[in-house]
């Protein structure tokens, strides 16, 4: 029984560290995306962090509600569409963040290309 408890503690620690690494990676990818996307304005670095957190939360909620990331199609066209919607909707939650609809499609494509070029997350 103790062995199972120790394994659970190690597993929880790994999940937290994986989430921190994923968050830092997401901010980096998002910063590059903002730089290369026309009509995508973020007023400051704290707004970049806040918008990244918002996008991570919205993506997590969408994957729970719809199960999109659990199916192979979720990583294709459906994943791209949901990413564009999440990137666009974020402007309604974060002051200092503006993006047009067309730019959200471009940003989702850039984000997807950069994210797919990185090694798989564990």
Question: How many whole angstroms separate alpha carbon 83 and alpha carbon 96?
Answer: 20
Higher-confidence residue of 43 and 72: namely 43
Least confident of 8-17, 32-41, 73-82: 8-17
pLDDT of residue 81: 82
Chain centroid offset of residue 94 CA: 15
Could you say which DSSP state residue 113 is in?
H
Give the model's pLDDT for residue 75.
58
Tell me whether residue 45 is in a domain.
Answer: yes
Q: Is residue 17 part of a domain?
A: yes
Average pLDDT over residues 79-91: 84
Residue 31 lies in a domain: yes
- 81 part of a folded domain: yes
* DSSP per residue, 21-88: HHHHHHHHHHHHHHHHSTTEEE-SHHHHHHHHHHHHHHHHHHHHHH-GGGSGGGGTHHHHHHHHHHHH
Q: Which domain holds residue 19?
A: 2-117
Q: Is the pLDDT of residue 43 over 80?
A: yes
Q: Percent of the chain beyond pLDDT 90?
A: 5
pLDDT at 11: 52
- Whether residue 88 lies inside any domain: the answer is yes
How high does pLDDT run on average in the chain?
A: 76
Instruction: Tell me the per-residue pLDDT of 88-99, one tens digit each, with 9 for 90 and over.
Output: 998 898 888 899
51 within domain boundaries: yes
Quick check: is 8 in a domain? yes
The rounded distance, in Å, linking the Cα atoms of 122 and 120 is 6
Higher pLDDT, 2 or 105: 105
- In total, how many domains does the chain have? 1
Is 122 a domain residue?
no
Q: Write down the pTM of the prediction.
A: 0.68
């Amino acid at each position: 029984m103790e062995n199972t408890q120790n394994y659970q503690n190690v597993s929880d620690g790994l999940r937290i560290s994986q989430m921190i690494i994923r968050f830092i990676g997401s901010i980096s990818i998002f910063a590059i995306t903002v730089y290369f996307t026309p009509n995508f304005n973020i007023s400051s670095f704290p707004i970049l962090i806040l918008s990244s957190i918002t996008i991570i939360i919205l993506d997590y909620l969408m994957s729970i509600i719809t199960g999109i990331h659990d199916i192979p199609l979720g990583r294709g066209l459906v994943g791209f569409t949901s990413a564009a919607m999440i990137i666009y909707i974020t402007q309604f939650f974060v002051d200092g963040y503006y993006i047009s609809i067309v730019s959200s499609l471009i940003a989702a494509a850039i984000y997807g290309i950069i994210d797919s070029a990185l090694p798989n997350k564990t």
